[in-house]
Amino acid sequence: DAGITQSPRHKVTETGTPVTLRCHQTENHRYMYWYRQDPGHGLRLIHYSYGVKDTDKGEVSDGYSVSRSKTEDFLLTLESATSSQTSVYFCAISTGTDDNQPQHFGDGTRLSIL
């Protein structure tokens, strides 16, 4: 168990409101990721982090920002939520010391934007 906790697990909010999702890991792994999962699209990378204050964009980063002020926490923020951001969001970490290691995933946050 890689010790990944996502919060909240479910959230319903309204268009235009800010939303922050939290990913917490217990094992000080360097690499952390945020994905969204939608029917017909599989998993799509939003942002990732390779260390404290070191982040980069993925393929669907528009409308999202991230922050990592501590090794164990990686936050995903929707500054002004839109209905197109209704999705299931997964946090993942990479546990290995080389670049071909598998990822470990949290259980997801189901976000609905009305």
Say if CB 66 and CB 49 are below 8 A apart: yes
Q: Which is nearer to another protein, 80 or 110 (CB)?
A: 110
Q: Which is nearer to another protein, 10 or 70 (CB)?
A: 10
Say if CB 81 and CB 16 are below 8 A apart: yes
Q: What region does 59 belong to: left with phi over 0, alpha with psi -120 to 50, or beta?
A: alpha
Rule CB under 8 A: which residues touch another protein?
A: 4, 31, 40-43, 45, 48, 50, 58, 90, 92, 94, 99-108
CB of 28 to another protein, least distance (A): 16
